[in-house]
Structure 1
Amino acid sequence: MDRSAVERLYDCDVLDRHGCPIGPVAELWLADGRPQWAAVRGAGGTTLVPLRGGQVRDRGLVVPVERYEVDDAPRVDGPDLSDAEQADLYEHYGLTLPEQRLERHRRGVSAPTSPRAPRATPPAR
């Protein structure tokens, strides 16, 4: 999925498998550059919703979970997920914990890149 496709997900409202609204996409969490979770803010805080098996329909992002599962999911408060928080989320939704770590993605912000070594300056003649 390219960057523009990821950015378009921010224009979606998250809906459960039956079409019940959960909330707008606030942030995305990626693994290997692919969106894996959508952050949805509600009265109780921010919750992550799994995207695997989800489909975009018009401006809705239909996810393969029930609304009550999202309501009961662990809340995410910090800028990063600890190993324990990530494990809790996967366990809550009955998903297998992957080896790669999730990275937070914010709309319009480039993905982190590794710093490059400075180029050597050619000797003066």
Structure 2
Amino acid sequence: MDRSAVDRLYDCDVLDRHGRPIGPVAELWLAGGRPLWATVRSDGGTTLVPIRGAQVRDRRLVVPVEKREVEDAPKVGDRELSEAEQAELHDHYGLTLPEQRLVRHRRGASAPTSQPPRQVRRRAR
């Protein structure tokens, strides 16, 4: 997905799989250059919503989760996520942690905000 297509997602309102409104896209998080999460702000706080497999319809981003799942998800605030927080979010939604590290995308930015590469621990033999 090119940068302009990713930027257009910021114009979308997020709806759950049944069409119930969750909130507007505040930020996007990418892995391997693909948008996988949207930050959504609501009265309950700021959280991430998985958008892999979502459909864009008339400036609405229909995500493959229930609104209740989003309301019960860990709140993240406006900061970078630790590996433990990323794992907690993936566990909450029943998703597999991607091999690439999540990076925050800022609308109109030339490149995503990078985080240090994930350290792979090797077992001693």
Pairing of 1:1-125 with structure 2 (within 5 A): 1-112=1-112
Q: Give the CA deviation at 1:31.
A: 0.5
Q: How many corresponding residue pairs?
A: 114
Shift of 1:110: 1.8
What root-mean-square deviation, in Å, do the aligned CA atoms of Structure 1 and Structure 2 show?
A: 1.5
Runs of 4 or more above 2 Å deviation: none
Amino acid aligned to 1:37: W
Task: Name the CA distance, whole Å, in 2 between partners of 1:95 and 1:32.
Answer: 16
Q: Which moved more, 1:99-108 or 1:56-65?
A: 99-108
Q: Percent identity?
A: 79
TM-score by length of 2: 0.87
- TM, length-normalised to structure 1: 0.87
Give 5+ residue unaligned stretches, structure 1: 115-125
Could you tell me which amino acid in structure 2 is paired with residue 11 of structure 1? D
Larger radius of gyration: 1
- What is the distance in 1 between the residues matched to 2:87 and 2:78? 15
Amino acid at match of 1:44: G
